[in-house]
């Protein structure tokens, strides 16, 4: 690993621990990882924790066979769950991820003080872009404004020149959430830079044409995968050869809930202006959206959630977003009069 990489990982680790989590003396910070995790990142986060007076707890587990609940047979679930129910902070670097498994659900439900963030197998370069180099307070102001507008919206429509045209209704009982980089209070956190909406069950209809999709090779080639959505479910997967492969991937779960929409993230990260191939980064691309499918936590979709064997995400870039009849984003750029000035400040920060 180069000296440059060492400096970069130390930089974003310091920002994450000190500015975002605001770790205090005596707090326990759990860092979970496996054989596929980057140990330089693990060690840097532990060192940054120690420097604040916090107590790092690094836990290496076997690599799961798949994300979420599918990986449960491979992890020391009882011991890991017990530890995570007692810590103050949990940073997950596992590949595949523990997120949405019984371990995660139990820790989030029982540990009322837990501040959690999922980083997965993000590269050092990606984490530098996602974690550093912008104003956390300014980003927070923009995202909170968009969230407030979303909560007052009954119908969301998303279109793109790539052929995407999909809409859904909102449900005030479900989560409207955001991540702006402030993890100082109990939270289910992911990387900063988005507003998240959980659509009303059975309400999504239309077509989603992905620019990048987990478990599908459609980046920088002529392959295409698109979903036809009917009443909140994937009714058909269309496209090229990759679409046929993706049909097999979905069928392999033997779980009807893997076909259901889980959430919709509106990306507004000022540093993310093009796709990188790293889903944690790409989900937050400025002026794009992420669609998640499969497992949905009861925290986000009360009271029971949407139980599924796993979860996957796909991204559409340079979208146009409508809240009811109001255009919020047009072709990937913020256009609503109430948001333009703040968006410009965020981009300039």
- What does the pLDDT look like over 187-219, one tens digit per residue? 999 999 999 999 999 999 999 999 999 999 998
* Residue position matching structure tokens 């796709």: 275
Residue 159's closest CA among 321, 282, 324?
321
Within 10 Å of residue 189's Cβ, how many Cβ atoms?
A: 24
DSSP string, 138-160: HHHHHHHHHHHHHHT-SEEEEE-
pTM value is 0.88
- Express each pLDDT in 93-146 by its tens digit: 999 999 999 999 999 999 999 999 999 999 999 999 999 999 999 999 999 999
List domains and CATH numbers for the chain. 3-130 (3.40.1830.10), 135-348 (no CATH)
What's the token pair of residue 255? 């779980």
For residue 220, CA distances in Å to 11, 86, 239 come to 31, 44, 15
Residue from 229, 176, 175, 241 nearest 202 by CA: 229
Strands 155-159 and 165-169: antiparallel
């Amino acid at each position: 690993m180069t000296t440059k990489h060492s400096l970069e990982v130390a930089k974003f680790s310091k920002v994450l621990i000190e500015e975002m989590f605001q770790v205090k003396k005596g707090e326990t910070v759990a860092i979970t990882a496996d054989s596929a995790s980057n140990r330089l990142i693990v060690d840097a986060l532990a060192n940054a924790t120690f420097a604040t007076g916090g107590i790092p707890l690094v836990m290496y587990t076997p690599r799961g066979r798949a994300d979420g609940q599918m990986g449960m047979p491979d992890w020391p679930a009882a011991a890991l769950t017990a530890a995570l129910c007692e810590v103050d902070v949990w940073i997950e670097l596992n590949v595949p991820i523990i997120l949405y498994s019984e371990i995660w659900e139990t820790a989030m439900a029982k540990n009322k003080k837990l501040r959690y963030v999922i980083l997965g197998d993000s590269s050092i370069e990606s984490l530098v872009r996602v974690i550093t180099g912008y104003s956390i307070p300014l980003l927070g102001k923009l995202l909170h404004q968009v969230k407030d507008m979303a909560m007052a919206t009954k119908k969301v429509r998303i279109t793109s020149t790539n052929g995407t045209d999909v809409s859904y209704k909102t449900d005030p009982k479900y989560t409207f959430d955001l991540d702006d980089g402030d993890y100082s209070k109990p939270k289910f956190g992911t990387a900063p830079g988005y507003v998240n909406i959980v659509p009303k069950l059975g309400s999504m209809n239309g077509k989603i044409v992905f620019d990048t999709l987990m478990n599908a090779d459609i980046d920088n080639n002529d392959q295409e995968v698109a979903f036809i959505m009917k009443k909140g479910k994937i009714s058909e997967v269309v496209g090229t050869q990759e679409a046929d492969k993706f049909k097999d991937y979905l069928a392999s779960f033997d779980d009807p809930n893997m076909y259901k929409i889980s959430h919709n993230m509106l990306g507004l990260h000022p540093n993310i202006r093009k796709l990188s191939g790293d889903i944690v980064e790409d989900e937050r691309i400025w002026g794009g959206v992420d669609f998640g499918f499969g497992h949905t936590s009861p925290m986000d979709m009360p009271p029971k959630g949407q139980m599924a064997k796993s979860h996957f995400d796909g991204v559409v870039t340079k979208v146009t977003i409508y809240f009811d009849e109001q255009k919020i984003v047009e072709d990937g750029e913020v256009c609503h009069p109430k948001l333009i000035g703040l968006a410009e400040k965020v981009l300039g920060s």
